[in-house]
Amino acid sequence: MSSKPDMDESLREKIISQPDVILEDQDLMRALIAANERAMGGNIVDLRGVAMERLEARLDRLEDTHRSVIAAAYENLAGTNQVHRAILRMLDPVEFEHFLRDLGTDVAQTLRVDSMKLVLESVQDKADPTIKTLGDVLSVAEPGFIAEYLADGRNAAPRQVTLRQIHEGDARIYGQQAEFIRSEACLLLDFGAGRLPGMLAMGAEDPHQFSPQQGTDLLAFFAGVFERAMRRWLS
C-alpha cells in the first residue's frame, strides 16, 4: 500500500512540472541526498552519493581556480594600463625641470606610490646650487652608492628591478618621508656607455604594495622607457 505524500498539492505539482528547479539548486540536492542516505540506513554505502560529493568538490576547486585566473587577468590589465598612463605623462614635458616635477607628482600618483625619487651617481658636489634648483625628487650620490644600496649587504649583482619590504625608508633617498616608507621598488637605470648608473626609487607606505614574490615585467618595461627619456636629457 502507498500513502499520499504529506505535501502541499500546488508545490507538488510545481516540482513535477519543473524538476530542473530542484536539480539546479545545490543546497536542495544536498538535502535530498542526505535524506536518502538516512532512509537507507548506516549499513549501506551509496557509491553514487560518494561520487557526486567528489565531483562537487572538484567543481568547487575548478570554480575557485577560474575566479582566481580571471581576477589575476583583470589585475594585470589594470597594472598595464596604469604603467602606460604613467609613461605617457612622463613623456609630455619638454624641459628637464618639468620632467622631474611631474615625476614626483602626476607620475607618482598614477602609479599609486607615496614617494618617487631619482638617484643619480655623480662626482659633482651635492651642495651645488644647480642641483638644488631641480627640486627634491632628484638625489645625487657618490659613485658606487646604488650598487651598495641594492645589494643590501648581500654579495650579489644588482637586478634591474628590486622589490622589497622594509622597516623604514632610507633618509638619503626619501628624505623626511623615509620614516613612513614600508616597501619599495628600486629600478636600476643604465644611461649608456661612459655614464654612471642611476636608480628610480618608488616608496609606498603599504608594506604589501611591493614584495619579492611579485612580477617585475611591467616595472622593467617602465625602467626601459625611463632610461631612454633620461638619455635625451643627459645628451
Side-by-side strand order, sheet with 115-121: 138-141, 115-121, 198-204, 183-189, 161-165
Task: Flag whether 108 is in a domain.
Answer: yes
Instruction: Among 19, 41, 61, give the residue marking a domain's end.
Output: 61
Looking at residue 140, its pLDDT comes to: 87
Q: What is the pTM of this model?
A: 0.67
Bridge-based pairing of strands 115-121 and 138-141 is: parallel
The answer on 181 and 159 residing in a single domain is yes
Task: Flag whether 4 is in a domain.
Answer: no
Q: Which residues contact 23 (CB under 8 A, 6 or more apart)?
A: 29
The answer on 74 and 50 residing in a single domain is no
Orientation angle between helical segments 217-234 and 47-90, nearest 10 degrees: 10
Looking at residue 145, its pLDDT comes to: 93
Task: Flag whether 80 is in a domain.
Answer: yes
Average pLDDT score, the chain: 82
The answer on 198 and 101 residing in a single domain is yes
Report the C-alpha gap between 167 and 182 in whole angstroms.
Answer: 6
Q: Low-confidence residues of the chain, pLDDT below 70?
A: 1-7, 23, 36-50, 52, 71-74, 124-135
Looking at residue 186, its pLDDT comes to: 96
> How many structural domains comprise the chain?
2
Looking at residue 1, its pLDDT comes to: 45
What CATH code is carried by the domain that includes residue 139? 3.30.450.40
Where do the H-state alpha helices sit in the chain?
9-17, 20-23, 26-40, 47-90, 96-102, 108-110, 129-132, 145-151, 171-174, 217-234
Domain that holds residue 110: 69-234
Task: Flag whether 156 is in a domain.
Answer: yes
Residue 200 burial (C-beta neighbours within 10 Å; 0-12, 13-18, 19+): buried
The answer on 100 and 40 residing in a single domain is no
The answer on 94 and 197 residing in a single domain is yes
CB 186 within 8 A of CB 220: no
CB 100 within 8 A of CB 117: no
